[in-house]
Amino acid sequence: MSNGSDTTLTGELLAKRDRLLELLKSLGSVAVAFSGGVDSGVVAKAASVALGEKAVAVTGESPSLPRGELEGARHLAEHIGIRHVIVSTDELHDPNYVRNAGDRCYYCKSELYDRMAELLPELGVQWICSGANRDDLGDYRPGLQAAAERSVRHPLQEVGLGKLEVRALARHWDLPVWDKPASPCLSSRIAPGLAVTVERLRRIEQAEAFLKASGFRDCRVRLHEGELARLEVPAEDLARIMEPGFRQRLVDHLLSLGFCFVTLDLQGLRSGSLNVLVDLQTRRRFELEVR
């Protein structure tokens, strides 16, 4: 049932893998919110192993999802062998989402889970599952509140799997995304208080695509007030990005996209770095509700 070599996993992780499979089997049928990343990839693979045709992966398509990520999700679902459905989501027509007040993810996940819930009868499944893992509980994630209100299950959290263990399981199951860097939605690059627009999302997508094509596999282009681009790359890549020839090409390209200023963050790449700008009261309210 494991569909992988047990020799690559510790005894503890083998036990968690088996609990994950048993949990999904007990649900009977599931729709996995599937971004094509490592977390949702592992849930989708486990669901496929445990439930076969009673498992389906659902990807939400909107301007906040890079087009390359959508293609990646298609390829991963095909690799896993799970049914894959793509649904259009309309969060950019929700003023609460567009105003980007720090709780944007709540409205994004609400839209996705509501669309998935509408599809459940057509898909012939009962439960919605996310790829949230144990480590996500220590961060500011309003999307977990949206999930709680809709009885979404978090199989990785429920069996106590953290990010490193999830990557180990992905490798165990021969998923090509096992070492893929995290890739949150493009809206997460826009500083709280700045409106989310299709133009800004496309500009950020094109800027990051340029960096990735230049060999910076893990990067973020954060947008701040004044159309300022703040670039984050791992600390070991800071010297490379500042090489005179490349630096000038990079600056010229980003200015041509419509950014007014281009800066490099000397702290390096940090997941969720814009969360420091979220109003403390808003953070506390969501953290208390999630707990």
The pLDDT tens digits along the chain (291 residues) read: 445 555 478 899 999 999 999 999 999 999 999 999 999 999 999 999 999 999 999 999 999 999 889 999 999 999 999 999 999 999 999 999 999 988 899 999 999 999 999 999 999 999 999 999 998 886 667 888 999 999 999 999 999 999 999 999 999 999 999 999 888 899 999 999 999 999 999 999 999 999 999 999 999 999 999 999 999 999 999 999 999 999 999 999 999 999 999 999 999 998 877 877 776 545 555 555 544
Q: Where are the domains of the chain?
A: 6-172, 186-270
Q: Please provide the CATH number assigned to the domain covering 186-270.
A: 3.30.70
Helix intervals (H) in 124-183: 143-149, 155-158, 163-172
Euclidean distance between the first and the last CA atom of the chain, given in angstroms as a whole number? 34
**What is the per-residue pLDDT for 6?**
57
- 8 A C-beta contact, residue 128 and residue 105: no
Tokens encoding 102? 């720090």
Question: What pLDDT is attached to residue 1?
Answer: 42
Please report the pLDDT score of residue 9 as a whole number: 84
At residue 273, the pLDDT reads 78
- Cα–Cα distance between 42 and 76 in angstroms, integer? 10
Measuring CA to CA, which residue among 72, 82, 149, 140 is closest to residue 110? 149
Domain 6-172 has CATH 3.40.50.620: yes
What SS3 class is residue 87? strand
- pLDDT for 240: 95
Three-state DSSP class for 221? strand
pLDDT of residue 102: 83
The pLDDT value recorded for residue 290 is 46
Give the pLDDT score at 2.
Answer: 46
